[in-house]
Amino acid sequence: MKLKSIAGLALAAGMLFSCAEQKEEVKIDPYEAQYIEVAEDGKMDFKVEEFGDVDILRYEIPGFDELTLKEQKLVYYLTQAGLSGRDIMWDQNYRHNLTIREALENIYVNYEGDKASDDWKAFEEYLKMVWVSNGIHHHNSNDKLKPEFSKEYLQTLLTDTNTSLTGEALEVIFNDKDNKKVNKKDGVDNVLASAVNFYGPDITSADVEEFYKTAYKGPEGQPIEAGLNSKLVREDGKLVEKVWKSGGMYGAAIDKIIYWLEKAKGVAENEKQAETLGLLIEYYKTGSLDTWDQYCISWATATEGNIDWINGFIEVYNDPKGYRGSYETIVQITDLDMSKKMAVLSENAQWFEDNSPLIDSHKKKDVVGVSYKSINVAGEAGDASPKTPIGVNLPNNNWIRQEHGSKSVSLANIINAYAQNGGSGRLKEFVHDDEEYELEEKYGKLADKLHTSLHEVIGHASGQINPGVGQPKETLKNYASTMEEGRADLVGLYYLMDPKLKELGLVEDTEGVGKAAYDGYIRNGLMTQLIRLNLGDDVEEDHMVNRQWVSAWVFEKGQKDNVIEKVTRDGKTYFNIKDYAKLRELFGELLRETQRIKSEGDFEAARALVEGYGIKVDQKIHAEVLKRNDQFKANPNGGFVNPYLVAETDDKGEITAIKIEQPAAFDNQMLYYAKNYSFLLK
C-alpha cells in the first residue's frame, strides 16, 4: 500500500534516499506522524502488523464527513482531551511504567547497532508488547511480560544510546518482583500481591477495608464511588488518599484534559451537552466525587446530539478491591441507522425485566432510561487503547442507574474492523460438526451483536440490590467484577432464544440465531478462549473468568440430562449441545442465582462459584487447544491504532477543516504520542 509519507518506523530514521540526478540524505523523524494513502475506491488494509500474540488493526470512522465543521471540532477537541491523559493509564498500571517506556523508546529511536540480531528482534517485540499493554504487564493475563533478551544486552543498548535506566525500574524487567499487575486469587493479600499503582507498595487489603469503613460515602441512599479517583498511600503512619485532580496527583495531564474540554464545551451541540461538559471540567478541577455523580446523572440523561464521549476514571477491573477507576476515553459518533434498529431493546427494557427468571424482589419495578446506541469510535485513549471494548454500559454507580438510567453503546466500527481482519479456519477446527459451522457462518455475527446489545442494555440495567446491602465492591469484593459481567452475559444468553426477539423485528430465525449464540459461547468458554493463556496459567481476567464459570457450571449441571455432550474424535475434544431448550433453562437458573448473590451480597456463594468453575483450567484440554491452534496465523488478541484527526487552520489559527488520516505504523503512533502527550514526564 502506498504511503503519504514514509512509514514511521524508527528503523528508518537514518535511511538514505536518492534519485537519478542527485543524492540527498533525508533523515526521517520517527516522532512525526506518518500516514498511509487510502486507495481511490476507499478500501483500506485493516491490518497494520502482528507481533507476540497480537494483531494491530486500523479502524474507519464512518459518518465523520457528514458532520458539520462545528461537530467535527467537538470530536477533535474531545479526542485531544482523551489523549492528554494517556500517561495516567501507564502510571496507574505500574509505578515504573513511564520510566521504563521512556528508556525503551529512546533506545528504539537512537540505537545504530546490529538490528538483524535475534536480541534486537526480541527487544523490538518486547517494546511493542509493552506499548499494546500500556505497561510491562500483559493486557489480558496480568502477568509481567518476560523479555527474550538478557539484562546484559539491555545494558549494552542503554550504554550505546546514552540512555539512563537504573535501580528497581531496571531490575524489575528481569526479576520475579511485581509479577502480577492484578492478583484476585483467593488466599492471598490481593492488594499486596498486585503491582497495580492504585496503592502504596506497603498497603494491605486490611488497610483498604479499614480505611473505607469510615471514609466519606456520600448522601444516604446515594453512595459515591468512594476511592474512584485517588491512590491510597501511607504518609507519616496514616492512610491518606492522593486525589487525581488539577493541582493534585496527575495534575499536569489533567490540566491539559481540562484545556481541551473547555474548547469542546465551546462547540457543544446543545445546552445540555455543554452543561455536562462543564460538570466534567469541575470534577477534574476539584476531584469531588459528589460532582462526579452530578456529571454522571447529566451525562446519562443527555441523549440528544450526534456526538458523545466517555471520559474519566471509570472501570474498576484493575483494582483488586474494586474501588479505583482506570483512566479511559472513547469519543463517539452515532451510527444512526443501526441505533434505530437496536433502540427497540431500550424501549422494551421493562418487558425483559418483568419476564426474567429472577426472584421477584430482585427485579426492578421501573427500569429507567436505558438508552442504546450503535456508535462509531472517533478516538480512544487510556484503558480503551490500544485494546478496546466492543460494548460499554455506563455509568457504573448502581443508584444512578436505578434512578436516572444508563447509556449502552456498541462500537460498530471496531466490530467491523475485527471482522475485516479475515478468517483463518480456526472455526472449522473447533466446531463439532458441519451443522454447527453453518449456523455460525449464517448467524454468528448477528448473534454476537445481539448478545453484546442484550448484555449492555438489558443485562447491566437489570436487577436490584436488597435494601441495606452494600455495594458489590464491598460485599463481593474481588469477585464483584466477574460476577457482574457473568450476570450480564446470562441475561443476554437467556433471551437470545426468546421468541420476543422475532416479535420485535430483531431476528427472523430465533432458533437459528440462538443456537449459533449458544454454540459459540460454550465453545469459547470451555475451549477457544484458552488460546490466550500460556499452558499452566489460571484464568484471571474478569471477562474470561466469567465466560468459563458460566460455561463450566451449565456443562456440569446439565450432565445428568446430557444437555452438553463432551465428544472425543480423532484425539480431539468437542462440545456438542444436545438440548438447547434445556440449556436455556440452565442459563436462567444460573442467572437467578447470580442475581441473588449480588442482591444479598453473598460473598461465600460468589467465591464458590468463581473459584469452583472459573479459575482453574483443565490442563489436558488446554494443551490440546494450544496444539490445535498452532496452525493458524491470526493472533488471539487484537489492538488498534487510532486514526489521526488533522486540523487545518487559516492565518488566524482558526480551524477550517479536519481531515482523517490513517496511521502507517504502530510504532510510529506510539512515538508520536510519546512526543506530544507525555505530560507526566515533562
Domain of 405, CATH number, reads 3.30.540.30
Residue 20 belongs to some domain of the structure: no
Q: Which three cell numbers stand for residue 386?
A: 490500544
Average pLDDT over residues 26-40: 85
Q: Which three cell numbers stand for residue 200?
A: 502504596
pLDDT reported for residue 350: 95
H-type alpha helices, 161-312: 167-171, 205-214, 251-266, 271-286, 289-301
Q: Which three cell numbers stand for residue 179?
A: 509479577
Give CA–CA dist 278/275, Å, rounded.
5
pLDDT reported for residue 53: 85
Residue 497 belongs to some domain of the structure: yes
319, 276: one domain: yes
For residue 425, name the pLDDT band (cuts at 50, 70, 90): confident
For residue 24, name the pLDDT band (cuts at 50, 70, 90): low
pLDDT reported for residue 371: 80
Please say whether the beta carbons of 328 and 318 come within 8 A: no
Give CA–CA dist 57/357, Å, rounded.
40
407, 447: one domain: no
Please say whether the beta carbons of 384 and 328 come within 8 A: yes
462, 346: one domain: no
79: pLDDT strictly greater than 70: yes
Q: What angle do CA 521, 522, 524 make, to 5 degrees?
A: 65
Nearest CA among 589, 594, 447 for reference residue 519: 447
Residue 174 belongs to some domain of the structure: no
483, 536: one domain: yes
Rg from Cα positions in the chain: 25
Side-chain half-sphere exposure of 104, counting CA atoms within 13 A: 27
pLDDT reported for residue 197: 98
- For the chain, the domain total comes to 2
Average pLDDT over residues 488-507: 96
430, 302: one domain: no
Give CA–CA dist 443/502, Å, rounded.
14
How far, CA to CA in Å, does 78 sit from each of 71, 285, 330, 361?
11, 17, 9, 42
Residue 35 belongs to some domain of the structure: no
Residue 240 belongs to some domain of the structure: yes
pLDDT per position as a tens digit, 610-659:
999 999 999 999 999 999 988 886 677 789 999 999 999 999 999 999 99
480, 411: one domain: no
For residue 26, name the pLDDT band (cuts at 50, 70, 90): low
Give CA–CA dist 315/551, Å, rounded.
24
DSSP code for 528? G
359, 430: one domain: no
15: pLDDT strictly greater than 80: no
For residue 38, name the pLDDT band (cuts at 50, 70, 90): confident
16: pLDDT strictly greater than 70: no
Average pLDDT score, the chain: 92
418, 542: one domain: no
For residue 19, name the pLDDT band (cuts at 50, 70, 90): very low
Of 9-13, 288-292, 578-582, minimum mean pLDDT range: 9-13
Average pLDDT over residues 474-485: 95
Q: Where are the beta strands (DSSP E) in 316-475?
A: 327-334, 370-382, 391-394, 406-411
Residue 31 belongs to some domain of the structure: no
pLDDT reported for residue 322: 95
Cell 441505533 found at: 339
Give CA–CA dist 544/524, Å, rounded.
9
Nearest CA among 605, 600, 562, 604 for reference residue 580: 562
pLDDT reported for residue 3: 39
Residue 389 belongs to some domain of the structure: yes
Q: Which domain holds residue 90?
A: 49-94+179-422+649-660
pLDDT per position as a tens digit, 337-346:
777 777 899 8
401, 322: one domain: yes
pLDDT per position as a tens digit, 140-181:
889 999 999 999 999 999 999 999 999 999 999 999 999 999
Please say whether the beta carbons of 408 and 457 come within 8 A: yes
194, 72: one domain: yes
Please say whether the beta carbons of 599 and 466 come within 8 A: yes
Please give the helix or strand (H or E) that residue 158 lies within, else none.
helix 151-160
Of 61-65, 294-298, 514-518, 636-640, minimum mean pLDDT range: 636-640
332, 432: one domain: no
pLDDT per position as a tens digit, 280-339:
999 999 999 999 999 999 999 999 999 999 999 999 999 999 999 999 999 999 987 777
Average pLDDT over residues 571-592: 97
Q: Is the peptide bond before 386 cis (omega within 30 degrees of 0)?
A: yes
Residue 619 belongs to some domain of the structure: yes
308, 430: one domain: no
Buried b (16+ CB within 10 A) or exposed e, 465-477: beeeeebbbbbbb
